[in-house]
Structure 1
């Protein structure tokens, strides 16, 4: 199934009534503090994106009730689940929350059907009633024929869908997904990502996804919240985050060269001296960015119309898909993408000095 964006109508309509999730998560650990505000409308999928140790999983555990808040407040559908100042703490088992863990945590001794029925049994249903309620969820996931199979006989993609069915069967008001595709191989990941996108598009409550993979975040989420060092550094629709990153981490994630300086018209003077000419006209603090594919390399100073030309040195070469990515140091450190044939023709190797050129039309500036 093709991956596609959600129409957004459900999110927009629900947003007018106020957020379904309204939280400020404050969690203190040794040498680390998470302080994150997080809101979401019914039907909205929010992805928490950030480097290792940023606090994403801590935030997910706090939402689930597995990491008590040291401050802040957590409300879901207008009901306060946790407020340390008021002495309110709803135990994890009493929260209307479904969780899909990175390794799925399916019970190995139970069939797929009984795994899905487990949460329903915990809600007080009889074994027969829970299994009857679980069957439609396996059918929705395309796993009806695997109802009697134990997890050890399921593929990675099938196990992921059983875990998702188990989480959705209890009809949670908040669905938490912790790296739900990380355990899958590349081919299975592509298929399951498309299926997960469809199921999330049909989910009427709030979903919060934690991932390291920018493609998972871009495809699955309506909105990204980028977390670094326990705090939000940027949030917005995926396309906006990709187009206008505001930290080096995000720029690397979406594959852009990013710099910060002061704009005066089309010229942005960077803090360490070089000037970058951009297509956009600005005044004041600014970011300036361009993709590695916009960089051309030359052994002699180019006579082309490129407004940006810098003397650089090859610091490293790495395979990047069907191209090579050159890590360049010098007047302006940057990354450039080129074909193996072009690299051979230029005689590129670590230490080789070249000229890097970027057209102003391919360079974009925006307010810092």
Structure 2
């Protein structure tokens, strides 16, 4: 269960099947109470549709959505619970605070909708604002708050209804880099204390790695990979995931320590047979003006297609029998005269090349 303890409280069990125009979503999600799951994917993958379905803003066309053992959406039984009656808290990307209400009354809005009288709702709101460090800003309206403060008000508003499911839609995307760093740490603390299930929708791998116990990757409306951060980052299964974790990834046919990718045979540290992925970091790719001799087991001719700054180094995109990225120092790039169209030889040591089976999605929906 990662950093969160398992409780006896039931969890989210969902098979989200929904249509939005020509787009079709078919995603299974299970989240235990106290667990944080990050839903990642490229633009248009279905992350927002999944979140809206969970919140009750987009009805399912099939499947089911069960929370705390209660069906909130099950089309086969014509069961659908409207958003305001779901034990779900949502923090939207732009927070959507009511501009005419103070921070206190924004947070009190949910408890009031759930039947609390005004005094009790405002007392609860003040308690939550104190917990997120905004007691002194309780009387301010959204336009008087910084981005980080508005995010914390939105989080307090979502948590004030004691949700069985907390949904976070890109909760840090609107913040500048410095505020994002501080707010991420603050959010981590509050999620660790939340007893319900949490789904974090994000495109930022750092947010996912810091905040979530488990990652679920969606592409084109389907889950392509899931698991804890260590397993996902070590063995990406799609180009999107490989880019997310900074690895070159290719699929080929393995026979022992050799993986054939097209016309190129790569030697890997791992022994695999059959359909396989082979992965290696850009930093493991060495570039040479001519064919290298010596220790590298994997060499091939390549052509530079692009050179970009990447941190303190340069990221070189290469075409050839396989398309790869290589990281080199500016000094090495100057020495090799790396410009688009330049021919070089690429080399990767077998010890830095990982191979693993390329079967179906390797981590089933989580159960506790």
Q: What's the TM-score bracket when you normalise by the shorter of the two chains? A: over 0.9
Quick one: which of 264, 268, 272 aligns to 1:282? 272
Contact in 2 for aligned 1:278/1:362 (Cα 8 Å): yes
Contact in 1 for aligned 2:3/2:213 (Cα 8 Å): no
Distance (Å, rounded) in 1 between the aligned partners of 2:298 and 2:188: 41
CA displacement at 1:6 relative to structure 2: 5.0
Is 1:122 aligned to 2:117, yes or no?
A: no
Q: Name the structure 2 match of 1:356.
A: 346
| Equivalent position SS for 1:195 | helix
Contact in 2 for aligned 1:64/1:97 (Cα 8 Å): yes
CA displacement at 1:333 relative to structure 2: 1.1
Quick one: which of 26, 31, 52 aligns to 2:43? 52
Quick one: which of 242, 251, 256 aligns to 1:260? 251
Q: Name the structure 2 match of 1:96.
A: 87
Quick one: which of 175, 190, 194 aligns to 2:166? 175
| Equivalent position SS for 2:302 | strand
Distance (Å, rounded) in 2 between the aligned partners of 1:322 and 1:120: 50
Q: Name the structure 2 match of 1:300.
A: 290
| Equivalent position SS for 1:57 | helix
Distance (Å, rounded) in 2 between the aligned partners of 1:49 and 1:73: 21
Q: Name the structure 1 match of 2:181.
A: 190
| Equivalent position SS for 2:97 | coil
| Equivalent position SS for 1:356 | strand
Distance (Å, rounded) in 1 between the aligned partners of 2:156 and 2:182: 17
Is 1:67 aligned to 2:63, yes or no?
A: no
TM-score (normalizing by structure 1): 0.95
Distance (Å, rounded) in 2 between the aligned partners of 1:37 and 1:332: 34
Contact in 2 for aligned 1:6/1:201 (Cα 8 Å): no
| Equivalent position SS for 1:35 | strand
Alignment: residue pair count: 358
Q: Name the structure 2 match of 1:237.
A: 228
Distance (Å, rounded) in 2 between the aligned partners of 1:158 and 1:90: 32
Unpaired stretches in structure 2, ≥5 consecutive residues? 359-368
CA displacement at 1:330 relative to structure 2: 1.0
CA displacement at 1:127 relative to structure 2: 2.0
What's the Cα RMSD here? 1.3
Distance (Å, rounded) in 1 between the aligned partners of 2:264 and 2:306: 22
Q: Name the structure 2 match of 1:321.
A: 311
Distance (Å, rounded) in 2 between the aligned partners of 1:143 and 1:25: 36
- CA displacement, residues 24-67 of structure 1 (integer Å, 9 cap, x when unaligned): 11101221110111111111111111111111100000000000
CA displacement at 1:7 relative to structure 2: 2.8
CA displacement at 1:164 relative to structure 2: 0.3
Q: Name the structure 2 match of 1:312.
A: 302
Q: Name the structure 2 match of 1:7.
A: 3
- CA displacement, residues 269-295 of structure 1 (integer Å, 9 cap, x when unaligned): 11x221111100111111110010111
CA displacement at 1:196 relative to structure 2: 0.8
| Equivalent position SS for 2:308 | strand
TM-score (normalizing by structure 2): 0.95
